[in-house]
Amino acid sequence: MTAEPVTSSTAAPGAEYADTASAAYRAALQVIESVEPRIAAATRKELADQRDSLKLIASENYASPAVLLTMGTWLSDKYAEGTIGHRFYAGCQNVDVVESVAAEHARELFGAPYAYAQPHSGIDANLVAFWAILATRVEAPGLAELGAKHVNDLSETDWESLRNKLGNQRLLGMSLDAGGHLTHGFRPNISGKMFHQRSYGTDPETGLLDYDKLAAAAREFKPLILVGGYSAYPRRVNFAKLREIADEVGATLMVDMAHFAGLVAGKVFTGDEDPVPHAHVTTTTTHKSLRGPRGGLVLAQPEYSDAVDKGCPMVLGGPLSHVMAAKAVALAEARQPSFQAYAQRVADNAKALAEGFLKRGARLVTGGTDNHIVLLDVTSFGLTGRQAESALLDAGVVTNRNSIPADPNGAWYTSGIRFGTPALTTRGFGATEFDRVAELVVDVLNNTTPTQASSGPSKAKYTLADGTAERVHAASAEMLAANPLYPGLTL
């Protein structure tokens, strides 16, 4: 495989107005510096650090200057609880425009009948979705006495009472070690406290979803909500099958597509792999593979729209109007043909990265990828995920440790490293560069030695062979220089 040249149809937006953006950022930083120079310095340093490192965290990307600049405006100064045309504050006419445009772009981009642009994050979007589903499907009187308590003061007995008052509702979601998210029913998370939850996993041999076993679990457990989607599962999902399972047991299908929304927007995932036509409610973040600001969205079928529209005051406080404006800009960018080319490169590059690991003897969960995620099992290197993550960071490779199925090291130390291709694809990396990235990662891991202890804090300790970090830094610097971040932007 060879790298394709970076062109205006695949590169990150913004290079065409780099001079204007440079002037804007220089002026902004001068104003910040006049008040708190440490913040201006940290901001400049963050850009330098991001330019000089191989960013391979699957949940991170680089937003365009237009998106970033949109967040730094006086829209931040306006309270606007409520929703379009129905606010609890006066003078929200401009926020109404902003929210309307963001929702319009979201509907058109994803083919959704309804879109809600207010959630501040993916977790907020999931909370809005959960409560909207409960409000639509469950009558739960008598909650006032529990609602009067602060959430931190609720005991496990209180939570049990709350679940019972909500009709003893059940949620079935992907387990954390199989690739699910904390908000898919993990017990320490609010989703695991709101519901009687059960998790579905993956086949112990292949690491793949077994739809027959999932269906059997749903028939036995009979959840109110079946949650699809993932944060560390490196394969596509058949959402038509998930909808069939949900319909059979009378469940609402909620899909969290926060990680792969960019592949849906970019038409890499279509048909049965596009969750929006099949799910009753779909949630997402707007950063990650979608390349927008940090925030969330809820997309819904018409029967859930009224309840979702009450996200504020049901779950949310005042919307972040400046971030909703940035969401609108990012969604407008994602509706351009260039974004589809970008999304396809994200998926192609993930395959190249996976192939690069496999041909160097590394072990991958599921044996490969067909989305934007590559999940590396580092136990073959004799390391924990914590050790591997730290050693890679020493060499300028930014990743995150991640659980693998039946992880012997648990969720803190882990046995895996999760890689994602969206950010470096935005910089212009292609298949050749990602093969080289795999080579550098394996070089670091082969030259990392763990301490001999098998438990406790020593599971995080390691030594990196002399010269390894310098060698990898030098090699990555060549690729990074050839694919600059925010080209032409000078501070």
Report the CATH number at residue 290: 3.40.640.10
The pLDDT, as a whole number, for residue 159 is 67
Residue 155 included in any domain: no
Q: Quick one: 247 and 273 in the same domain?
A: yes
Q: Would residue 288 show up in a list of annotated catalytic residues for this protein?
A: yes
Task: Out of 295, 314, 334, pick the residue that ends a domain.
Answer: 334
| Same-domain status, 206 and 125 | yes
Residue 478 lies inside a defined structural domain of this protein: yes
Q: Is the peptide bond before 313 cis (omega within 30 degrees of 0)?
A: yes
154 in a structural domain: no
Question: Among all chains, which residue has been given the structure tokens 């050790």?
Answer: 387
Catalytic, out of 256, 273, 355, 407: 256
Specify the pTM: 0.90
pLDDT of residue 455: 59
For residues 186 and 182, what is the distance between their CA atoms, to the nearest angstrom?
5
Q: What is the pLDDT along the chain (491 residues), one digit of tens a residue?
A: 333 333 334 455 666 677 888 999 999 999 999 999 999 999 999 999 999 999 999 999 999 999 999 999 999 999 999 999 999 899 999 999 999 999 999 999 999 999 999 999 999 999 999 988 988 887 544 444 554 555 556 677 776 776 666 655 899 999 888 878 877 777 678 777 788 888 999 999 999 999 999 999 999 999 999 999 999 999 999 999 999 999 999 999 999 999 999 999 999 999 999 999 999 999 999 999 999 999 999 999 999 999 999 898 888 888 999 999 999 999 999 999 999 999 999 999 999 999 999 999 999 999 999 999 999 999 999 999 999 999 999 999 999 999 999 899 988 999 999 999 999 999 999 999 999 999 999 999 999 999 866 556 678 899 999 999 999 999 999 999 999 999 988 88
Q: Is residue 50 part of a domain?
A: no
What is the tally of structural domains in the chain? 2
| Rounded-to-integer distance, Cα 145 and Cα 156, Å | 15
Q: Which two tokens stand for residue 250?
A: 């009378």
Residues 258 and 181 in one domain: yes
- Is residue 81 among the annotated active site residues? yes
Q: Quick one: angle between helices 431-446 and 337-358, nearest 10?
A: 40
User: What distance in Å separates the CA atoms of residue 58 and residue 152, rounded to the nearest whole number?
Assistant: 31
Catalytic residue among 55, 87, 243, 288: 288
Question: Is 230 labeled as catalytic in the residue annotation?
Answer: no
Query: Does residue 258 fall inside a structural domain?
Result: yes
Q: 10 Å Cβ neighbour count for 241?
A: 17
Q: Select which of 4, 17, 79, 335 is catalytic.
A: 79
Residues 400 and 471 in one domain: yes
CA distance 390 to 444: 10
Which two three-digit tokens encode residue 132? 């909207």
Q: Are residues 203 and 218 in the same domain?
A: yes
Q: Which domain holds residue 400?
A: 337-482
> Of residues 81, 160, 303, 370, which has the active-site annotation?
81
> What pLDDT, on the 0 to 100 scale, is given for residue 7?
37
Picking from 113, 118, 108, 116, the residue whose alpha carbon sits closest to that of residue 339 is 108
Told to judge if 89 belongs to the known catalytic residues of this protein, a careful annotator would answer: no
Is residue 242, in this structure, part of any structural domain at all?
yes
Amino acid at site 315: V
Choose the catalytic residue: 44, 294, 360, 363: 294
**Is 488 part of any domain?**
no
Question: Is 294 part of the annotated catalytic residue set?
Answer: yes
Of 284, 304, 334, the last residue of a domain is 334
Identify whether residues 356 and 397 lie together within a single domain. Answer: yes
In this structure, the answer to whether residues 207 and 343 fall within a common structural domain is no
What letters, b where the CB count within 10 A reaches 16 and e where it falls short, cover 20-33?
ebbebbeeebeebe
Distance between CA 334 and CA 109 in Å, rounded?
Answer: 7
- Among 276, 304, 334, the domain boundary falls at 334
Give pLDDT, residue 9: 42
Looking up tokens 């973040």, which residue turns up? 285
Q: Are residues 317 and 464 part of one domain?
A: no
Is 219 inside any structural domain?
yes
486 is a catalytic site residue: no
What does the pLDDT read at residue 180?
A: 82
Catalytic entry in 70, 183, 283, 285: 285
Do 309 and 424 reside in the same domain of the chain?
Answer: no
Q: Could you tell me which residues come within 8 angstroms of residue 171 by beta carbon, excluding any fewer than 6 positions away?
A: 130, 184, 185, 191, 194, 195, 196, 197, 198, 223, 224, 225, 227
The reply to whether 369 and 252 lie within a common domain is: no
- Could you tell me the CATH number of the domain that includes residue 412? 3.90.1150.10
213: tokens are 């076993």
Residues 383 and 254 in one domain: no
Note whether 398 and 293 are same-domain residues: no
Phi, psi for 225 (deg, rounded to 5): -125, 130
